[in-house]
Amino acid sequence: MKSKRIPWNKGLNKEIDIRVKNGGNKSSITKKENFKSKQTIPWNRGLTKETDERIAKYSKKLKGKPSHFKGKILPKRTEEHSKRIVESRRKNGTYIVSDEARLNNSIAQFGKKRSTETKTKQRISALNRILRNNQMLSIGKNEKQLLDEQEIKEL
């Protein structure tokens, strides 16, 4: 036999009722703190498709499907937006890049084969960054040629 009892929050949402909003906020804050302090561990931590059949099944289901970002044009961030993101990440402690991490990131780029087109794009990008930040400019033969080509394109 079904219960005739109606829950107190039936038909309410966080836009309508402050109690629902506060309860949701408390819940999400507590969850974040528990994950951060490692009190709560994700159910699939350390599991792989080789060791767990549930993950293997899900992996098989997703295989061959495009990423959910495929075909979507994401909006470009403004400089102000990027600065706000960095500030908030610094504030909450998720934007810590150690010297070791910086070194590892730079080492990861060594030895990669790049096409001349990619090298040209990287040089132009670096030159634009230097010009935008009014930094001292010491350029080599290739960069001088690229600057000349860019000035011609702008005219």
The average confidence (pLDDT) of the chain is 82
Extract the tokens encoding 89: 């990440």
Structural domain contains residue 14: yes
Domain, as residue range, for 136:
117-155
pLDDT value at residue 89: 83
Query: 102-118 in b/e burial notation, b at 16+ Cβ within 10 A?
Result: eeeeeeeeeeeeeeeee
Q: What is the pTM of this model?
A: 0.34
Structural domain contains residue 38: yes
Structural domain contains residue 64: no
Extract the tokens encoding 61: 């289901």
pLDDT value at residue 149: 72
Structural domain contains residue 84: no
- Half-sphere exposure of 16 toward its Cβ, with a 13 Å CA cutoff? 5
Structural domain contains residue 130: yes
Extract the tokens encoding 115: 């096409």
In the predicted structure, residue 93 carries a pLDDT above the cut 90: no
Structural domain contains residue 105: no
Structural domain contains residue 60: no
pLDDT value at residue 48: 92
Three-state DSSP class for residue 108: helix
* Number of domains making up the chain: 2
Please tell me which residue, 7 or 141, carries the higher pLDDT value.
7
User: What is the pLDDT averaged over residues 140-155?
Assistant: 67
Burial class for 79, CB neighbours closer than 10 Å (0-12, 13-18, 19+): exposed
- Nearest alpha-carbon partner for 20 in 32, 7, 33, 31: 7
Distance in angstroms (rounded) separating the CA atoms of residues 33 and 35: 6
Structural domain contains residue 76: no
pLDDT in tens, 19-59: 888 888 888 889 889 988 989 999 999 999 999 999 999 99
pLDDT value at residue 51: 93
